[in-house]
Amino acid sequence: MADGTRRTRAFEEVLLQVERRIADDGLKVGDRLPGERQLAEQLQVSRSSVREAIRVLETLGVVSSQVGRGPDAGAVLTSRPDSALTDLLRLSLGLSSLSLREVIDTRLMIERWSAEHAARAAPLPEPAEALMEAMLAMEAAASAEDFVRHDIAFHVAIAEASGNRLIAAVMRALRGAMRKYAIEAVDRLGDTRVLREDHRRIYDAIVSGDTATAVDAVTAHLAHAYPELF
Amino acid sequence: MADGTRRTRAFEEVLLQVERRIADDGLKVGDRLPGERQLAEQLQVSRSSVREAIRVLETLGVVSSQVGRGPDAGAVLTSRPDSALTDLLRLSLGLSSLSLREVIDTRLMIERWSAEHAARAAPLPEPAEALMEAMLAMEAAASAEDFVRHDIAFHVAIAEASGNRLIAAVMRALRGAMRKYAIEAVDRLGDTRVLREDHRRIYDAIVSGDTATAVDAVTAHLAHAYPELF
DNA sequence: AACCGAGTATGGTCAGACCATACTCCAGGC
DNA sequence: GCCTGGAGTATGGTCTGACCATACTCGGTT
């Protein structure tokens, strides 16, 4: 008989306390958590339980553990949600609990939003430079894998140019989790000319601040990359 | 001097092996992982390391641990990325590494997409029923907390009606992480009449399949909820 | 002042023990 | 034959205590 409230495990209590401490003490990125042994004593649990809690926080990209001694040693608060998101999506795809269709549709939503807002924010010299650099690298790419690496950089740069770090993080995670499928898609296409022309059009629209054209261009781009879904 | 490649920890090796096994053996949701002791022996690591790896997988919503004995005991493969996403966003907000602005903009993007696709998929009886139920519950809500609970149910139902589980999961995570802020926003507003009227318009547009009006209605709704950001 | 070695705090790992839980299975009674 | 209750057992949950590798700190030496 399940009463719905499984007894909370020791490491979950540690998680609650640490999160409470972050909120109450106003801990910021760069601050350190107490050592594992000290935390264990404070919360009256074993070091193993503390370690499991820290492992969870590390998985969520909230802390980073460093061995040794000194100001940078121990569990330091960070904020790198990207890898957590990427792992999450990759594993969900691996378990087939999400269809490629759902992921691509999500990507299309984010690409359109990013392109629109990046164009609206134009002209910004740094993003434009990052985009151009990725395009040149794609021209010189020798393999599908190489091409996809710079393709990811290109699209992530658009998301970053939008100015929204959450959306940029989701884009990074999506592309990271889909890397394998993207390489396969490029291999299937054989020729990347269409994709490269798409990139050029996207670039021009964004740097000239033409939001409508930018949105249309990324939409057409995804249709070219995944013709079977359109 | 950092060589960039920190020696991989034991639990990371376990993670790799488990993920490889999922891919190679074609493990599906519902399948069981070997027991902690057995896995430890197979991979030649201690049980603690196996436990840390399983804790990571549990955090990512990939496995669920059950004590006891029998077919459901042990580490069972699942797929519940929602809580992981929620934790991720909540902690990132707590560390102020994301601004409310970025989160709300992301939400607006998702709400618009969901409303558009939900309206396009109409008429579907089940989603319409879920939406109506949440609206009625909001009418009867006695507190801001109560109102927000059903408000979340309403918006999640829209995302689910869109048919995209990834986007629905992101919506659930976003709203879960923002719960506290939503309650504060409702308290600040004092009166929920405007919000309830918005819901009614959103509902009507979706069930009648009017995509354009649905998108406009959710946009207006968020502007009412967070006037300071528009 | 520059160098070098001992000291030490940190996370990483392991072995082994015990507990609570919840199923499995079988003996016994009806 | 069927049901029931208790023993058995495999599971995760927790704790203890130990040892290691790492990397800083500090003091003494040159």
φ, ψ (nearest 5 deg) of residue A77: -70, 130
The reply to whether residue B28 touches residue A79, judged by beta carbons under 8 angstroms, is: no
| Per-residue confidence (pLDDT) for residue A162, from 0 to 100 | 94
- Asked if residue B75 has pLDDT above 90, the reply is yes
Distances, alpha carbon A151 to alpha carbons A26, A155, B181, B192, B207, in Å: 39, 6, 37, 46, 39
Whole-number mean pLDDT of chain B? 91
B10: amino acid identity, one letter = A
Alpha carbon distance, N-terminus to C-terminus of chain B? 48
Band of residue B70 on the pLDDT scale cut at 50, 70, 90: confident
| Per-residue confidence (pLDDT) for residue B127, from 0 to 100 | 74
B18-56 confidence digits (pLDDT tens): 999 998 998 999 999 999 999 999 999 999 999 999 999
Whole-number mean pLDDT of chain A? 91
Which nucleotide lies closest to A49 by the C1' atom and the CA atom?
D14
Report the candidate in B154, B166, B155, B161 with the shortest Cα–Cα distance to residue B61.
B166
B113-146 confidence digits (pLDDT tens): 999 999 998 777 777 889 999 999 999 998 999 9
Which nucleotide lies closest to B40 by the C1' atom and the CA atom?
C14
| Per-residue confidence (pLDDT) for residue A4, from 0 to 100 | 43
d(CA A54, CA A78): 12
- Coil, strand or helix at B116: helix
Q: What tokens were used for B111?
A: 């709400």
| Per-residue confidence (pLDDT) for residue B81, from 0 to 100 | 87
The reply to whether residue B102 touches residue A165, judged by beta carbons under 8 angstroms, is: yes
pTM for the model: 0.87
Alpha carbon distance, N-terminus to C-terminus of chain A? 48
CA distance B92 to chain A (A): 7
A28: amino acid identity, one letter = K
Band of residue B4 on the pLDDT scale cut at 50, 70, 90: very low
β-pairing, A74-77 vs A63-66, is antiparallel
B213: amino acid identity, one letter = T
| Per-residue confidence (pLDDT) for residue A5, from 0 to 100 | 53
- Coil, strand or helix at A193: helix
The reply to whether residue B79 touches residue A95, judged by beta carbons under 8 angstroms, is: yes
Strand residues in chain A grouped as ranges (E):
63-66, 74-77
Residues in chain A: 230
CA(B12)–C1'(D19) in Å? 21
| Per-residue confidence (pLDDT) for residue B2, from 0 to 100 | 35
Interface test with B, best of A31, A79, A97, A106 (most B CBs within 10 A): A97
CA(B65)–C1'(C20) in Å? 15
Cα–chain center distance at A52? 24
Nearest 5°: the CA angle B78, B149, A20 is 75
| Per-residue confidence (pLDDT) for residue A93, from 0 to 100 | 85
Other CB atoms within 10 Å distance of the CB of residue B220: 16
- Asked if residue B3 has pLDDT above 50, the reply is no
Q: What tokens were used for B151?
A: 């408000």
Interface test with A, best of B48, B86, B88 (most A CBs within 10 A): B88
| Per-residue confidence (pLDDT) for residue A99, from 0 to 100 | 86
Which nucleotide lies closest to A36 by the C1' atom and the CA atom?
C11
Chain A residues contacting B via beta carbons under 8 Å: 11, 19, 22-23, 27-29, 48, 51-52, 55-57, 59-62, 77, 79, 81, 84-85, 87-89, 91-92, 94-98, 102-103, 105-106, 109-110, 113, 164-167, 170
Residue in chain B nearest A85 by alpha carbon: B85
A128: amino acid identity, one letter = A
d(CA B30, CA B32): 6
The reply to whether residue B109 touches residue A105, judged by beta carbons under 8 angstroms, is: no
Report the candidate in B69, B62, B50 with the shortest Cα–Cα distance to residue B22.
B62
| Per-residue confidence (pLDDT) for residue B99, from 0 to 100 | 87
d(CA A177, CA A14): 30
Which residue has its C-alpha nearest to nucleotide C13's C1'? B46
d(CA B111, CA B223): 12
B80-112 confidence digits (pLDDT tens): 888 899 999 999 888 878 888 999 999 999 999
Band of residue B9 on the pLDDT scale cut at 50, 70, 90: very high
Q: What tokens were used for B16?
A: 């790799």
Distances, alpha carbon A96 to alpha carbons A31, B82, B165, in Å: 38, 16, 12
CA(A153)–C1'(C26) in Å? 65
Chain B residues contacting A via beta carbons under 8 Å: 11, 19, 22-23, 27-29, 48, 51-52, 55-57, 59-62, 77, 79, 81, 84-85, 87-89, 91-92, 94-98, 102-103, 105-106, 109-110, 113, 164-167, 170
Cβ contact B64:B78 at 8 Å: yes
| Per-residue confidence (pLDDT) for residue A3, from 0 to 100 | 42
Cβ contact B65:B77 at 8 Å: no
Q: What is the pLDDT along chain A (230 residues), one digit of tens a residue?
A: 334 456 799 999 999 999 999 999 989 999 999 999 999 999 999 999 999 999 999 999 999 999 988 788 889 999 988 889 999 988 888 887 788 899 999 999 999 999 999 999 877 777 788 999 999 999 999 999 999 999 999 999 999 999 999 999 999 999 998 998 899 989 988 889 999 999 999 999 999 999 999 999 999 999 998 888 77
